[in-house]
Structure 1
């Protein structure tokens, strides 16, 4: 039997499994954040965070909002497409809470 992965599923899994993407989405589920806030909250370099945010923005998952204040304020938030990932992320969290042990975390 010739089975092929659904290309849409494969693309979605590739995107969500990109290193740090899950944690960035998890952070943005809490609400809009400035770059500096995310940089402080996540164990990731500024350059890599910028790259991941650009990727997510290109995919239409994250929105970059510029506020014309002085100084200019830029915040990142989930788009409607990104917000629709919330139940997926919550289910992954539930699964991890149930099946990923502290011992497994120390092995990485």
Structure 2
């Protein structure tokens, strides 16, 4: 099946065989969402991006960037300098995805007081922590 054939198909992320499911996993996974959110601030070099996303390992960031680049959400630009310089930035599609993710991120940040209170109530009724 070529690209023109797949463009006419309806996509359903709830279907196990749907290719949109893999992309959704890349976007909503722990490092994918944070990478897209960080790149919304502007282009980054690899180590700058790694410092911006506190806690991500070099290996996980590399894998995440490869997946997002393959999905057409991130553009990788290698400069022919010595030492080589590689910049990462969002594509127009990636920018649209990042804007939607940032809305969710800002919502969660703004409601963390409620989440923490709910956790306390839950833990108190179950004797856990």
Answer whether TM exceeds 0.5 for this pair.
yes
User: Do the aligned residues in 1 keep the contact of 2:75 with 2:90 (CA within 8 Å)?
Assistant: yes
Q: With structure 1 as the length reference, what TM-score do the two structures score?
A: 0.78
Work out which of the two has the higher radius of gyration on C-alpha atoms and give 1 or 2: 2
Q: Which residue in 2 is equivalent to 1:76? A: 88
Of 3, 13, 26, the match for 1:15: 26
Shift, 1:54, TM fit: 0.5
Structure 1's 9 and 74: CA in aligned 2 closer, same or farther, altered over 3 A? closer
> Higher relative CO (CA 8 A, sep ≥ 6), structure 1 or 2?
1
Distance 1:19 1:93, change over 3 A: closer
Match runs of 1:1-108 below 5 Å: 5=14, 7=18, 10-42=21-53, 43-101=55-113, 103=116
Structure 1, 93-102 or 16-25: larger mean CA deviation: 93-102
Mark the runs of 5 or more structure 2 residues left unpaired by the alignment: 1-12, 124-129
Which runs of 5 or more residues in structure 1 are unaligned? Answer: none
The residue matched to 1:85 in structure 2 has which SS? helix
Q: What is the total number of aligned residue pairs between the two structures? A: 103
SS in 1 for 2:25: helix
Give the structure with the higher percent helix: 2
Task: Report the CA distance between 1:72 and its aligned residue.
Answer: 1.6
Deviation, 1:11, is 4.7
How far the C-alpha of 1:9 sits from its partner, in A, is 6.4
Aligned-residue CA RMSD (Å): 2.6
